[in-house]
Chain A
Amino acid sequence: MIWRACLPLFAAALLSPPPAAAQALTQRGFADGGLFLFPQDAPSDRTRAVGDLRVRDEVFFKPSGWLQFAAGVDFRANSHDQVDDRWRLDVSDRGARRPRLALRRLSATFTRGPVTIDAGKQFIRWGKADVVTPTDRFAPRDFLDVIDTEFLPVAGVRAVAQAGADTFEAVWLPRFTPSRAPLLDQRWTVVPAAAASVPLVDGGATLPDGSQTGVRWSRVADRVEFSLSFFDGFNNLPTVTVFPVPSPSGAGPIVAVARNYPAIRTYGADAAVPTRLFTIKAEAAYFTSRQSGAAAAADNYVLYVVQVERQTGEWVFAGGYAGEAVTARRSTLTFAPDRGLTRAIVAHASYTIGPTRTIAFEGAVRQNADGVYAKAEYSQARGQHWRATIGGAAIAGRESDFLGQYRRNSHVRASLRYSF
């Protein structure tokens, strides 16, 4: 519907002269092939080598100064069944597996004076922190690899009005996009040892029908910038229910695992304050279940992050503490990497060795030391198009800890990217 509404505007834009300034048509994309090697078996997954291929192409067309169109697609292939085999363009990208061909972006941007409206499939990012972002409610992620994630686009309308130092933003998403949870038969789903012999089947996902809305007010001042935000929608991370199902062969029990996405509201705030030595960034959100009493399906809790950030010489550093305070606990199983990275010190750093070479580090340590991960990556570009990256992640800890449960998933990774 949005696209039909856009057609007259598109025609009008074509008839008006393009801005003398900007290029009317721009494009960017890449082909990226990667290999992951896991030195250890996981109880549910004995595959130790995973190959992955991603091709992305994005086009931006600016027929007029007040209008821009964006379109982009992702093509995926994977050696470990992480990609849906069907050859079709997946517009919504809400499945358990990555689509073979996904619509990454298809949007129109209208600008008039201080008002900007983006309509269509797009990326919406809120918040200022880096590793954990409690207010970033319109940014579902692909967690097929829990510590190497990517953002998923959402479909909706975003309106922004700027008035001096203040920015007002409203978002409406008519359709929910969930984060992609780890596949049940792969190593990023960890089953407790006691239940390891019970076969798991995907009980499916119940995707909520309602729309999601959010508003945000930001202010940029000389010494501080901050935002207040409100979100009314659904958690893009699922609560999990397990239930027995009959075995087709009649042999032994089978457990189905189903995903539900609870209705929530969040009240968020974020701020950045530059000081002489560091920029201090803080971000917090209070998550509350939209239902009350027995119907409530999710915990009420506060997620918060305080971090410091500094660039000096060739180094960029950010590090801080992510915390959680639960105000109402309900006995639900969840897949919640954001909460899994709380009560932890998180940090990342990068060093630019030269114009074409960088090295980066990232890590998190739970405050009780029950879980830790550390990533390192070396990257080198060659010419105008090629970049090779090698890296690895070491994960350790207790089985009961969110990070520690992945202790058999330490890995090394190599990738080669051609950008165009």
Chain B
Amino acid sequence: MNERRAVTAILVPFAVALAASLGVRAAGAGADNARQIVEEAQKRTDAKSQRYEGLLQVFDAKGKVTDKRWTFERLGSHGQSKAVLRFTAPAEVKGVALLVVNHPDRASDQWMWTPAIERDRRIALQDRATRFFGTDFSFEDLEERDVDQYEYTLAGDDAVDGAACWKIQSTPRQSKSSQYTRSIVWIRKDNYAFARIENYSKNDMVRRLDYSDIRSVQGIWTARQLEMADLKRGSRTRLALDKLEYNVPLKDEDFTLQAIRRQ
């Protein structure tokens, strides 16, 4: 696997998964064009695996809050990875699981296991714009894509929460594979951490993802809190990462359709 392949995507789908792994070991590296910046940011988040427990708070348009929890495990890095996300709360959705198999050259494969009916169901590509289990993340937001699946343009400099950032526009090369026609990404200049992503459908911004509470975890700078806002609905989902670990021993056989059946 060449280095460019290993440097995976963030862009549009800016997955929770990916997002959680976004961070940087150190500042530096004078990247001077958009693609190099993105590649560098991605390279600095490489890890063999990742695990965390997520607390989700879904705020509807009226401000009512619903809590959910999931556990997340990822094996591999970026576009070559597999991930399993399993709900642990509330009690009625305990055991519901999503398997995501990412590919370097195309959209991921996704299956959802629903224990109440003892069946798995493949999430078709055209269904990925749907919200994932009542959160403001769509199924597409939960996948990772390779950096080669996007075109990048440096759109200037900006600041997020007082931190200087590069502002980069990304556009999917295969337009039909994404619900987003383009995205704007803010990457901090001091540590290459992602600060914000705005996702557009045609000319309308439809979702915005904000990263905060960025800390170094095992040498990888990681946002411990992410907030996805659905601008059409007026709702938002805050994801706080707890018990985050990188390079934990995980087995390939735990990332299969058979494995997500196990509770």
Contact = CB atoms under 8 A, between A and B. Distances in A.
A60 B263 contact: yes
Given A21-B250, A160-B258, A352-B131, A123 B66 contact: no
Given A28-B91, A111-B253, A314 B127 contact: no
Interface in A347-383: 352, 354-356, 381, 383
Contacts of A316: 130
B51 A419 contact: no
B99 to A, nearest CB: 11
Contact of B248 (A20, A272, A383): A20
A88 interface: no
Interface in A210-264: 220, 222, 225
B122 to A, nearest CB: 6
A419 B93 CA distance: 9
A385 interface: yes
Interface in B117-176: 117-119, 122-127, 129-131, 134-135, 176
Nearest to A312: B130
A277 B126 contact: yes
B118 A125 contact: yes
B126 A276 contact: yes
B236 to A, nearest CB: 11
B262 A109 contact: yes
Interface in A88-123: 109, 111, 113-114, 116, 123
A417 interface: yes
A114 B92 contact: no
A249 B91 CA distance: 54
A420 B94 CA distance: 9
Interface in A270-307: 272, 274-279
A419 B90 contact: yes
Interface string B19-62: 00000000000000000000000000000000100000010100
A34 interface: no
B67 interface: yes
A275 B131 CA distance: 20
Contacts of B176: 276
A6 B262 CA distance: 18
Contacts of B135: 355
B92 A419 contact: yes
A26 B130 contact: no
A413 interface: no
Contact of B127 (A162, A279, A354, A385): A279
B51 A21 contact: yes
B263 A26 contact: yes
A40 interface: no
A286 B127 CA distance: 32
A161 B117 CA distance: 22
B207 to A, nearest CB: 14
A334 interface: no
Contacts of B126: 274-279, 310
Nearest to A111: B253
A36 B135 CA distance: 33
Nearest to A169: B258
A324 B263 CA distance: 37
B212 interface: no
Contact of B125 (A274, A314, A419): A274
A411 interface: no
Contacts of B249: 20-21
Interface string A72-98: 000000000000000000000000000
A420 B249 CA distance: 31
A384 B67 contact: yes
Contacts of A68: 262-263
B109 interface: yes
Given A225-B122, A279-B124, A311-B130, A384 B90 contact: yes
A172 interface: no
Interface string A304-331: 0000011111101000000000000000
A313 B94 contact: no
A268 to B, nearest CB: 16
Nearest to B69: A384
Given A28-B115, A111-B259, A356-B66, 7 more contacts: A28-B94, A60-B262, A111-B262, A151-B117, A167-B258, A314-B130, A381-B90
Q: Name the 7 nearest CB pairs between A and B, nearest first.
A: A419-B91, A274-B124, A311-B127, A60-B263, A419-B92, A355-B66, A123-B118
9 contacts: A26-B95, A28-B91, A28-B263, A68-B262, A68-B263, A279-B122, A311-B130, A312-B127, A384-B89
